[in-house]
Amino acid sequence: MDKQYNEDGFIPKHGGYERLITYQKSEIIYDGTYYFAHKYLNKYDRTIDQMIQSARSGKQNIVEASMASGWICANTKTQNS
């Protein structure tokens, strides 16, 4: 087996993303973006929706990658056995 192979994978299997520093920081970014957009931008400005959606998307990408990583790791182990 390759010495660089990590059985746990780079991202922990299903549900472990909450412990990742990147996910924790993405939550802070989302919260800060939400607060900033609603406090400093015009209520009807499309920029608010765009900023919040962008921050939410960053969080969601980490969640989806974590789920995909768990599925790929499980299948890789089965195929390599």
Name the pTM for this structure: 0.66
* Selected residue with higher pLDDT from 39 and 81: 39
Residue 5 has pLDDT above 80, yes or no: no
Structure confidence at residue 14 (pLDDT): 57
* Selected residue with higher pLDDT from 79 and 62: 62
Mean pLDDT for the chain?
Answer: 78
Q: What is the pLDDT of residues 7-44, one digit of tens each?
A: 666 655 555 788 889 999 999 999 999 999 999 999 89
CA distance 21 to 17: 9
Domain ranges of the chain: 18-80
Q: Exposed, middle or buried by CB within 10 Å (0-12, 13-18, 19+), for 55?
A: buried
